[in-house]
Amino acid sequence: MSANGKVKANAHWPAIRFTVNGESRMVNVPPMKRLLDVLREDLHLTGTKEGCGEGECGSCSVRMDNELVNSCLVPVLQAEGAEIQTVEGLALDGELHPLQKAFLKNGGAQCGICTPGMLMAAAQLLAHSPHPDEVEIREGLAGNLCRCTGFIRIFESVAAAAGTSASAPAKEPVKEPEMEQTHHAR
Amino acid sequence: MSTHATTRIVGASVPRKEGVDKLVGRACYIDDMEREGMWYGATVRSTIPRGLIGSIAFDRRIDWSEFTVVTAADIPGENIIQLIIADQPCLADGKVNHCEEPILLLAHHDKHKLREALGAVNVEYEPLPPIFTIEKSERQEQVVWGTDNLLKSFLLEKGDVDSAWARAAHVVEGEYRTGAQEHLYIENQGVIAEYSAEDGVTVWGSLQCPYYVFKALRGVFDLPDDKVRVIQTETGGAFGGKEDYPSVLASHAGLLAKKSGRPVKMIYDRMEDLAVTTKRHPARVRHRTALDKDGKLLAIQIDLDTDGGAYATLSSTVLSRATLHSTGPYLCPNVRVRARSWATNHVPYGAFRGFGAPQAIFAMERHMDEIATALGIDPVDLRRRNFLHEGDTNATEQLMREPIILDQLLDRALQESDYHAKRKQFARENAENSIKRGMGLVAFYHGSGFTGSGELYLNSLGGVDVTPEGEVRVLVSNTEFGQGTNTILTQIASEALGIEYSDVTMAAPDTDMVPNSGPTVASRTSMVVGHLIERACVQLISMLREQAGLGATHTREEFLAACERYRAAHGEVSSMCRYEAPPGIYWDDQKYHGEAYGAYAWAIYVAQVAVDTVTYSAEVENFWAVQEVGTVLHPVMAAGQIEGGIAQGIGYALYEKVVLADGRMTNNQMTNYIMPTAQDVPPIHVYFEEIPFRHGGYGAKGLGELPHDGPAPAILNAIRDATGVSFTAIPLLPEDLYAGLVASQPVEEPALP
């Protein structure tokens, strides 16, 4: 501890190494620190959100070694050597992921706070079941709460991304609004 | 005014304005924001529902010199959260009136030390007897507010109710109850505050109404307007829950920032958010209805009472909307509504989508089915016989000047849901099955915008400007929290200005940057603010044509070039408009008489429900929502609003119970306050009929709150259809279904040996 009580990133804590969105990362933090807080505070990946802190809402969902986890329930020591994907890792080279395009087109995001977790749950679902039917989609998203949409447009978005619904998959890039940051983030 | 047959952008499902930021994780919510040297704040709260504060002891194991401690004595202005009635203290001073009432604030740079310190402040109380029910409050078992516990009352009268009973062929009575409901926005309440002598107080936060917070801060800090600034950050759901409460939290963080000299962040965790913030008002509604032999309404008498909690907050205006929606979309010559909101020692109740209407409509629409049963009339026929039509007057004797297409909506709902065939089929199948199915139908309207003279008092100002960089901006204090404000207002502006959707942005929701166009509540944004923006844009185009040589038709480049010519001559390019009431509006706030709302959205909802008589669970299997909301500005987002509201309404009916014990919420976790999940929401079929309203933005009326009004009574009507048992209270959990269904069964004769 320093004089002002702040925990310093130093050798006091063992180094924990893992991969986030394809990039090798190392942190020196208390091993029981929540993966959620490490992502947000130490790695400044604030796309992953906290909704309840007890694994009920799924807002903090990330993919870890090809499993969907609630990052609020994962002590960072469990992430040693893991491959982690967060919402920031979905779009590639500025091109939105098919799920992101489908959410944009079909109204899958409203307030947006559950959206990162919902996208990760949907990505996990499609990784294991590329063409899910409605029952599978509902099961795949059952651990993620959305209070805005009533889920209907999220189901449609996932189905559209998978090309399993009547609505066409978002093949061509949706005409996107400004890619710049919102005024809040300026 | 155009309709979307002739519009380019209005009526098209353009991409959500801030959609990409939300999808890539870049949108900046309050907890994603940091300020240099920032500390964290926390709140010491009352552990008892009512009493006098004795001593406050600080445990010596904590080094308190590291902390900033704020009490009521540190408040530079008035110790009041300014809203409607000045009764709620910012920090308790000498007494507490509900559990979790804030008493003292702490700040520290280390969140963990802060948590430890919270448990090291010991407040001693001299308890006073609390009251927790409407019944105890109206009997004045204890007087806990004012002289009689009455936060607000309204009396609405039309015709002569008293003489109607004797003429009636039928009189039907009923009592209905609705419980509290939690908003459960997925982003908890949070703010960051800064304070300096030069700039005064600045607050960033998750909130709906920047100018409500502005007004509260001005009072608490006793500062002039130019020393108060409120900036909304991306907001992760609100539903009314971030209408009034952020004023409390912003004041607290501001006080800590002032005393500590540092930016202070206060973010509630889920347990604190659920325990301390407002919820939907619980209500008790009693109906007495007179009908003639043909099932026509002769008289409606309603006693509507709500639990307002310990302080007045928004109880008066919630009660107003409940009063004005309590008689439904029906013609009745004689009406009396006595409405009262009572103080108790519960955490204050507040705004929640629907704002009193869901409680009132639950009672009315359940009661209509009870009437139908009592009279032996089909519930659909009973409604149709009594619908309001254009030219009729409603309960406040407002002349219905706009077209009303309830019959058309009803026909569509019956057809889409195959209502009659399904009812017959289920009646046949139910006899042999442990799963009983039923169909429930409701009719209702929801008034758009503020009640009565409310919009005149708000005197909203909004408009557009064009910056020297060529940025076309919508200037309003109306906020985005998922419902689509950014998108629809920029659609309207780009449509009216004759430029592209991508050419128009929203100015930052910052009280230093945007005028007060009123709060983002009451289904008013599309209709009232949308119309302001449409007018401001039409006005800008006229200015550019008359004074800057803009032609009768123009390209984007010609528009921007004309703006630059106008700027060269006038300095800035800006067009602002104030709210103007449609002509012929009359409202008497004392008698509750006249034009209650500028316009109404109308709806028929149908629920198909299955009740499992082995497990006593009820499941909504299918849902149809047919509505007329004026012009649909954005079909995808409009349907999303309807679906989301219906899901919340299903939760209100069947899942969501705020468990209160001694004035405290005991299930303040997502583990045991249950909302519908992806597995629980049925297919929802949404249909719009469009009748453009000439005083709304491109013909739009309000639709945000409407979908929360209908599901609960539709579901309980379907359960009655399925089981033959009338349930009159929500939430209706399996244990309640069990109790009701078992009680209704005839006692079986013991079998003969």
**Using one digit for the tens of pLDDT, what is the confidence trace for A80-113?**
999 999 999 999 988 999 999 999 999 999 999 9
d(CA B452, CA B596): 4
| Coil/strand/helix, residue A162 | helix
DSSP annotation of B752: P
Partner B contacted by A75 (CB < 8 A): no
Q: Which of residues 37-66 of B touch A (CB under 8 A)?
A: 66
β-pairing, B664-665 with B660-661?
antiparallel
d(CA B395, CA B331): 8
CA dihedral B372, B376, B381, B382 (to 10 degrees): -40
d(CA B269, CA A34): 15
Whether the CB-CB separation of B519 and B529 falls below 8 Å is answered with: no
Q: In what order do the strands lie in the sheet with B283-291?
A: B150-158, B334-343, B297-309, B283-291, B170-178, B729-730
Q: How would residue A3 be classed by pLDDT, with cut points 50, 70 and 90?
A: very low
Whether the CB-CB separation of B548 and B575 falls below 8 Å is answered with: no
CATH of the domain at B499: 3.30.365.10
Are B155 and B231 found together in one domain?
no
CB contact under 8 A, A56 and B109: no
pLDDT exceeds 90 at position B116? yes
To the nearest whole angstrom, how far is the Cα of A125 from the nearest Cα of chain B? 14
Residue B93 belongs to a domain: yes
Residue B511 belongs to a domain: yes
- How large is the average pLDDT for residues B552-561? 97
A84 vs A88, B519, B625, B692, CA distance in Å?
Answer: 11, 41, 42, 50
Q: Which of residues 627-646 of B touch A (CB under 8 A)?
A: 636-637, 639-640, 643-646
d(CA B238, CA B593): 32
Based on the structure, what is the number of domains in chain B? 3
List the structure tokens of A4.
Answer: 């002002």
DSSP strands (E only) in B78-169: 95-96, 102-108, 121-127, 150-158
Whether the CB-CB separation of B510 and B499 falls below 8 Å is answered with: no
In this predicted structure, what is the pLDDT of residue A165?
58
What is the ipTM, given to two decimal places? 0.97
In this predicted structure, what is the pLDDT of residue A171?
37
Q: What pLDDT, in 10s, does the model give residues B574-593?
A: 999 999 998 878 999 999 99
B42 contact partners, CB below 8 Å, separation of at least 6: B105, B106, B107, B114, B115, B117, B118, B266
Q: What pLDDT, in 10s, does the model give residues B290-340?
A: 999 999 999 999 999 999 999 999 999 999 999 999 999 999 999 999 999
Q: How would residue B17 be classed by pLDDT, with cut points 50, 70 and 90?
A: very high
Name every chain A residue with its beta carbon within 8 A of the beta carbon of B186. Answer: 49, 51, 57, 59, 111, 113-114, 145-147
- How large is the average pLDDT for residues A123-145? 97
Whether the CB-CB separation of B110 and A41 falls below 8 Å is answered with: no
Partner A contacted by B671 (CB < 8 A): yes
Residue B412 belongs to a domain: no
d(CA B681, CA B623): 9
Are B512 and B560 found together in one domain?
yes
- In three-state form (DSSP H/G/I as H, E/B as E, the rest C), the secondary structure along B688-724 is EECCCCCCCHHHECCCCCHHHHCHHHHHHHHHHHHHC
Furthest C-alpha separation in chain B = 105
Closest residue by Cα to residue B102 from B195, B220, B258, B208: B220
B178 vs A66, B33, B306, B712, B727, CA distance in Å?
Answer: 45, 39, 9, 10, 11
pLDDT exceeds 90 at position B2? no
In this predicted structure, what is the pLDDT of residue B645?
98
In this predicted structure, what is the pLDDT of residue B4?
45
Are B394 and B287 found together in one domain?
yes
pLDDT exceeds 90 at position A133? yes
Q: What pLDDT, in 10s, does the model give residues B587-617?
A: 999 999 999 999 999 999 999 999 999 999 9
d(CA B197, CA B199): 6
Whether the CB-CB separation of B143 and B343 falls below 8 Å is answered with: no
Name every chain B residue with its beta carbon within 8 A of the beta carbon of A86. Answer: 25
- How large is the average pLDDT for residues B20-32? 98
Cis peptide before B731 (omega within 30 of 0): yes
To the nearest whole angstrom, how far is the Cα of B14 from the nearest Cα of chain A? 8
Parent domain of B288: 131-181+279-401
In this predicted structure, what is the pLDDT of residue B439?
98
B245 or B743: which carries more pLDDT confidence?
B245
Place of tokens 């090291």: B120
Residue B232 belongs to a domain: yes
Query: Over chain A, what is the mean pLDDT?
Result: 87
Residue of chain B minimizing CA distance to A91: B24
List the structure tokens of B347.
Answer: 């955490």
pLDDT exceeds 60 at position B522? yes
In this predicted structure, what is the pLDDT of residue B554?
98
Are B302 and B251 found together in one domain?
no
List the structure tokens of B138.
Answer: 């109206």
- How large is the average pLDDT for residues B172-176? 98
Q: What pLDDT, in 10s, does the model give residues B637-669?
A: 999 999 999 999 999 999 999 999 999 999 999
- How large is the average pLDDT for residues B107-111? 97
Class of A15-89 per CATH? alpha beta
In this predicted structure, what is the pLDDT of residue A178?
41
Residue of chain B minimizing CA distance to A103: B23
A11 contact partners, CB below 8 Å, separation of at least 6: A28
In this predicted structure, what is the pLDDT of residue B34?
97
In this predicted structure, what is the pLDDT of residue A12?
85
pLDDT exceeds 80 at position B362? yes
Question: What are the sequence ranges of the domains in chain A?
Answer: 15-89, 98-173
Size of interface A-B (CB pairs under 8 A): 216
Q: Which of residues 220-259 of B touch A (CB under 8 A)?
A: 231-239
Are B228 and B239 found together in one domain?
yes
Query: Looking at B532, B547, B577, which one is the last position of a domain?
Result: B577
d(CA B520, CA B611): 38
In this predicted structure, what is the pLDDT of residue A186?
27
- How large is the average pLDDT for residues B436-451? 97
| Terminal alpha carbon distance of chain A | 33
Whether the CB-CB separation of A174 and A89 falls below 8 Å is answered with: no
Q: What pLDDT, in 10s, does the model give residues B60-81?
A: 999 999 999 999 999 999 999 9
The DSSP bridge partners found for residue B150 are: B342
List the structure tokens of B359.
Answer: 């409680």
pLDDT exceeds 70 at position B3? no
Are B249 and B156 found together in one domain?
no
Residue B697 belongs to a domain: no
Please give the single-letter amino acid code of residue B416.
E
Are B366 and B310 found together in one domain?
yes
Q: Domain A98-173 is classified in which CATH homologous superfamily?
A: [2Fe-2S]-binding domain (1.10.150.120)
Are B289 and B142 found together in one domain?
yes
Q: What pLDDT, in 10s, does the model give residues B275-293?
A: 999 999 999 999 999 999 9
B60 contact partners, CB below 8 Å, separation of at least 6: none
Of B24, B646, B675, the CB nearest to A147: B675
β-pairing, B684-689 with B617-628?
parallel
List the structure tokens of A145.
Answer: 């709460």
In this predicted structure, what is the pLDDT of residue B751?
58
Are B503 and B523 found together in one domain?
yes
Are B479 and B503 found together in one domain?
yes
- How large is the average pLDDT for residues B353-377? 98
d(CA A153, CA B639): 9
In this predicted structure, what is the pLDDT of residue A10?
55
Q: What pLDDT, in 10s, does the model give residues B151-172?
A: 999 999 999 999 999 999 999 9
Place of tokens 């924001």: B33
Q: How would residue A11 be classed by pLDDT, with cut points 50, 70 and 90?
A: low
What percent of chain A is predicted at pLDDT more than 70?
82
Residue count of chain A: 186
Q: What pLDDT, in 10s, does the model give residues B39-52?
A: 999 999 999 999 99
The DSSP bridge partners found for residue B602 are: B445, B628
Partner B contacted by A116 (CB < 8 A): yes
Closest residue by Cα to residue A128 from A118, A116, A140, A112: A140
Query: Looking at B401, B416, B441, which one is the last position of a domain?
Result: B401
Furthest C-alpha separation in chain A = 62
A169 contact partners, CB below 8 Å, separation of at least 6: A98, A102, A160, A161, A162, A163
Are B477 and B563 found together in one domain?
yes
| Coil/strand/helix, residue A65 | coil
pLDDT exceeds 70 at position B425? yes
| Torsion angles phi and psi, residue B494, rounded to 5 | -70, -35
**Long-range contact pairs involving A167-176 (C-beta distance under 8 Å, separation at least 24):** A167/A106, A169/A98, A169/A102, A170/A98, A170/A101, A170/A102, A170/A104, A170/A105, A173/A95, A173/A96, A173/A101, A174/A96, A174/A101, A174/A104, A174/A105, A174/B15, A175/B15, A176/A96, A176/A104, A176/B15, A176/B20
pLDDT exceeds 50 at position B566? yes
B694 contact partners, CB below 8 Å, separation of at least 6: B1
Are B58 and B177 found together in one domain?
no
d(CA A136, CA A129): 8
- How large is the average pLDDT for residues B720-726? 97
pLDDT exceeds 90 at position B204? yes
- How large is the average pLDDT for residues B399-412? 97
Considering just the CA atoms, what is the radius of gyration of chain B in Å?
27
Do A15-89 and A98-173 fold alike per CATH? no
Q: What pTM value is reported for the model?
A: 0.95
pLDDT exceeds 50 at position A183? no
To the nearest whole angstrom, how far is the Cα of A153 from the nearest Cα of chain B? 7
Whether the CB-CB separation of B652 and B708 falls below 8 Å is answered with: yes
Whether the CB-CB separation of A147 and B62 falls below 8 Å is answered with: no
Dihedral sign, Cα of residue B384, residue B390, residue B391, residue B394: positive
B739 contact partners, CB below 8 Å, separation of at least 6: none
